[in-house]
Amino acid sequence: MRFSPLMLAAPALVAAAPAPAPSPDLAAVQAHLRGVQTMTADFEQTNAKGQIVSGTLRLKKPGKVRFEYQKGVPLLVVGDGKALTMIDYSVKQVSRWPIGKTPLALLLDPDKDVAGYATIVPSGRPDLVVLAGQDKKHREYGSITVTFRRSAGAPGGLVLDGWQVLDAQNNRTTVRLSNQRFNVPVDDSAFQWTDPRPKGPRR
């Protein structure tokens, strides 16, 4: 086969081309995530079986979050900046995962480049922005779809409305937020928890 000069030059031209700019909505999501240092909200969580529980959420970057469930639900989920811990007080069981290996890393790490592993997907509504994210190198971490509502006075012009997480076993969990408040004081004591295991230390 004969190679024309144009064929040989094409790769160099492509390599020199600048990367496409992120879409305005993706840039707004990034601005929102970087602009929110703390958040409090009420949440409603629906699991794969359709069971619904509610509670309160407190978030503080980097990496800190607390899902405190309604009275009668013996669960607590806490991120301490390094690990995400689920405590089941009914069976005195504690499970931990590095935050970077959970889909919530998208919301908890202000330095994460959203454009590297998330895309804007059609929402069907002009007032909503929907972001779908997954670590393509580690699909076992699961995926997350996050919904934002446009609001001029909020960080980045968006309000975080909730998300859906799909784990490696295709179990879907949906979280919807209300009464969101951004960049309000949140004390670090909110991210402590009591270990229910026998002779467990306080965290």
What CATH number corresponds to the domain at position 42?
A: 2.50.20.10
Residue 20 has pLDDT above 50, yes or no: no
Task: Please indicate, yes or no, if residue 195 is contained in any of the structural domains.
Answer: no
Residue 81's domain comprises 23-188
Task: Please indicate, yes or no, if residue 67 is contained in any of the structural domains.
Answer: yes
Tell me the percentage of the chain whose pLDDT exceeds 70.
84
3-class secondary structure per residue, the chain: CCCCHHHHHHHHHHHHCCCCCCCHHHHHHHHHHHHCCEEEEEEEEECCCCCEEEEEEEEECCCEEEEEECCCCCEEEEEECCEEEEEECCCCEEEEEEHHHCCCHHHHCCCCCHHHCEEEECCCCCCEEEEEEECCCCHHHCEEEEEEEECCCCHHHEEEEEEEEECCCCCEEEEEEEEEEECCCCCHHHHCCECCCCCCCEC
Task: Please indicate, yes or no, if residue 14 is contained in any of the structural domains.
Answer: no
Q: What is the total count of domains within the chain?
A: 1
Which tens digits make up the pLDDT trace of 55-87? 999 999 999 999 999 999 999 999 999 899 999
Task: Please indicate, yes or no, if residue 154 is contained in any of the structural domains.
Answer: yes
Which tens digits make up the pLDDT trace of 81-122? 989 999 999 999 999 998 877 778 888 887 777 877 789 999
